[in-house]
Amino acid sequence: MKKFLLLFFITALIISCGVNNENEGIDDDKLGFIEADVLSEDTEFKVRASYNSLKPGDGIKMDRSFENAPPMIPHTTAGFFPIKIDRNICLSCHMPEKAKEVNATEISKTHLMNIREQLILVDGIYTTPDEGVVVEKLEKLNNAYYNCSQCHAPQTEVTVNITNLFTPEFRKEFGISSSNLHENVAEGTSK
């Protein structure tokens, strides 16, 4: 009898897991902020983003969204992609030695640093040094930062009917237009 009851409960469990309850989940076309099939490559958006078509040097720089936020790209990025480790057109203007010459924004000094924690082996266990993050200055771009579009996005004109309640706060006046992250990259990480 016990075997029969156990077999009955296992069978009931398997059947109940396989039942499709239509009241659960969200339809694919309701997952985003647009009413469209999110799995389709042919989706017609109600509003299309209008990306900046100004050539480099002609764009207007936007204020940063928050302290040390990556700046938005104020010019067209047509022809810049895909960015690869050995093909990055952004670096031709934004590396420190070239930026001043062409009046471009210099890449952040953090991109010329190794700011990853250095692990040390103590009694067979990897730990971090007592001083927290070890900052090593590099002579060239840290390859962890080669893909600019990972953090920097082109400016665009788009209207989205979503209220933004975020209010940025800047500790220093210049923070809205430039970064001081290279000076305080280890802030809050010390042991």
Q: What is the pLDDT of residue 184?
A: 80
Mean pLDDT by 10 residues, the chain (191 residues): 71 68 64 64 69 89 88 93 94 94 92 83 81 81 93 85 82 79 73 48
Residue located via tokens 């902020």: 33
Q: Where are the domains of the chain?
A: 48-110+138-191
Domain 48-110+138-191, CATH homologous superfamily name and number: Flavocytochrome C3; Chain A (1.10.1130.10)
Q: Give pTM, 2 decimals.
A: 0.65
Q: What is the pLDDT of residue 131?
A: 63
- Helical ranges in 37-172 per DSSP H: 91-94, 96-102
Residue 79 structure tokens: 């022809």
Backbone angles phi, psi at 41, to 5 degrees: -85, -10
